[in-house]
Chains A and B, each alone.
Chain A
């Protein structure tokens, strides 16, 4: 087991290196960071060349990749191209906010998805089952950004009609100094509620569908029949024998969904102007600065790989039939 973890861990290093090279090449060839300067008639070609030279932009991609790796390792991703702002402190701050946001979305959709899925499986073809199926199909077809917009519209309409503010529709806190303890928590919840709901919808639909299928499969398996045959009460069969085994494959689904949640964060954070990773990514992209974009992609790739590794290990822990060699 330990050797397996170690080997997987070592294997992810070349994967990350290859990923970093590919995305560096991709980001470099697809974007001209000085495009806006070039379009400016007041800046001469010599000045452009001087900037290119000072920022090493005139070197071949492979050399620039070398510089970038050096900066990434020794100087924590270095600085932005424009304004020489340090990348890491900004990225660390937005990462904290986004993880808060994404993890609460994962937890909520897990609880909801498991509950809905299990109940649908136990009452297959019931009214509840059909309703859950229909709602999750609609969930698969709904773009996250539109759901976010509609939630915003709903809150604004409620505020305009009845002058009650249930949730805030933008930002992370109502003031810079949001207070402490309970007030801070309440304020944060009021701000995060809508984005979390928007982000949860798709994941809840996915998890509940998967949980339903997994639960149905387990309920028809031989060991559940054995459990029933030896006279266990139904509740014990469902909770002890079926439910716990049906949960196992969900680990993989959650791990695969993790990368998608970052895509969801890009959209929801932009709409709700949250100071998180997605909003940071869009802003860096708009300013044509390649280095924060690179740093962002690397951090996300690392997190996704790490999360998948954890999921694989957990899978082995939960399911003793899996043997890692």
Chain B
């Protein structure tokens, strides 16, 4: 990507006839712009990020999903302002009532408003999802980067670990670990999830670093005297950022699904704190005939994950310049 000044200058001196210049939006201030001017090219001054942004915004489904998702997460974030009741507020006059204008998602057997509880549940799930996304991306990128760059025992260990996860269902391993933690806070659960699902991002980064290591510009940087860390951070990482961002996004969705399963089975978030999976668990306990208790939290999970998957798709199309897919 062209956010790096040294590389950018070289890139702009393209062969005559190359249609896209990668010079920054400032234009005239950049000496290379004059050079392209001399060749008589039409210069469209846009950075790679600007192209990516344009491609993403054109992807209508992804953009719509982003807006919906921000709306849902916003509702969760500001639950204490939006929710008509608190999540523990007991109302003995309306026990187990079906959805109505007063209680849009109904109430449970203690008279607690399900809508408010779902809003607070979104807050918990979003917190876990985003934390896992950040943490597992950090762990995965660091380990995958070292494995791809240096090879050796880190690489071997990483690949064998991945093999192990292919032979065992992830959920079973997670349940054993979650049992050990007992009922946990969102932070603890996020740490646990991140510790187990970073391998996917690590594999992606490893694969990318393995091929980038052989590229000419890495060789050039090395010849110019750049150290390993500089090469990794300034030359290789920016070229891997697309796949990393995509899989980080999808990881948030996976984490929200896993958090829901764990909380539903009773190995996740401690009950007074509402989580979407936990709400479904309570809903099932209170009798399956109260359909509203198990319907709405689930619908929210599906909508959140659906949006995240669409955003991931849009990001993949936007960030991967080699893939110029025309969308029908």
Contact = CB atoms under 8 A, between A and B. Distances in A.
A15 B167 contact: yes
A142 B256 CA distance: 11
A146 B169 CA distance: 19
B171 A263 contact: yes
B164 A146 contact: no
A125 B328 contact: yes
Nearest to B290: A153
Interface string B280-316: 1001100011010011001001110110011000000
B21 to A, nearest CB: 35
A264 to B, nearest CB: 8
Contacts of A140: 305-306, 309
A30 B289 contact: no
B253 A141 contact: yes
Chain B interface residue count: which class?
35 or more
Contacts of A143: 257, 260-261, 264, 298, 301-302
A30 B176 contact: yes
Nearest to A155: B288
Nearest to A304: B167
Contact of A30 (B177, B260, B280, B306): B177
B302 A141 contact: yes
Given A145-B264, A157-B289, A300-B168, A293 B176 contact: yes
A285 B176 contact: yes
Interface string A6-39: 0000000001001100110011001100000000
Contact of A263 (B170, B288, B302, B305): B170
| Chain A interface size range | 35 or more
B93 interface: no
Q: Considering residues B168, B170, B264, B284, which has the most beta carbons from chain A within 10 angstroms of its beta carbon?
A: B168
B65 to A, nearest CB: 11
B168 A23 contact: yes
A129 to B, nearest CB: 10
A281 interface: yes
Given A19-B167, A153-B288, A157-B289, A142 B302 contact: yes
B280 A145 contact: yes
A164 to B, nearest CB: 16
A141 B306 contact: yes
A30 B260 CA distance: 22
B180 A282 contact: no
A216 interface: no
B223 interface: no
Contact of A156 (B289, B309, B328): B289
A26 B265 contact: no
A304 B169 CA distance: 9
The CB with the most chain B CB atoms within 10 A, among A263, A281, A293, is that of A263
B265 A263 contact: no
Nearest to B181: A30
A288 B129 CA distance: 28
Contacts of A19: 164, 167-168
Contact of B180 (A30, A125, A157, A266): A30
Nearest to B163: A15
Contact of B291 (A22, A125, A157): A157
A153 B168 CA distance: 31
B60 to A, nearest CB: 15
B172 interface: yes
B166 interface: yes
A267 B281 CA distance: 12
A137 B288 contact: no
B63 interface: no
Interface in A45-60: none
A305 B171 contact: no
B152 to A, nearest CB: 19
Q: Which of B163, B172, B180, B264 has the most CB of A within 10 A?
A: B172
B168 A304 contact: yes
B265 A270 contact: yes
A186 interface: no
B306 A285 contact: no
Interface string B101-132: 00000000000000000000000000000000
19 contacts: A27-B176, A30-B180, A140-B306, A141-B306, A142-B302, A143-B264, A143-B302, A145-B264, A145-B265, A146-B302, A150-B295, A150-B298, A153-B288, A153-B291, A156-B289, A160-B289, A267-B171, A300-B169, A301-B168
Interface of A: 15, 18-19, 22-23, 26-27, 30-31, 125, 137-138, 140-143, 145-146, 149-150, 152-153, 156-157, 160, 169, 256, 259-260, 262-263, 266-267, 270-271, 281-282, 285, 288, 293, 296-297, 300-301, 304-305, 308
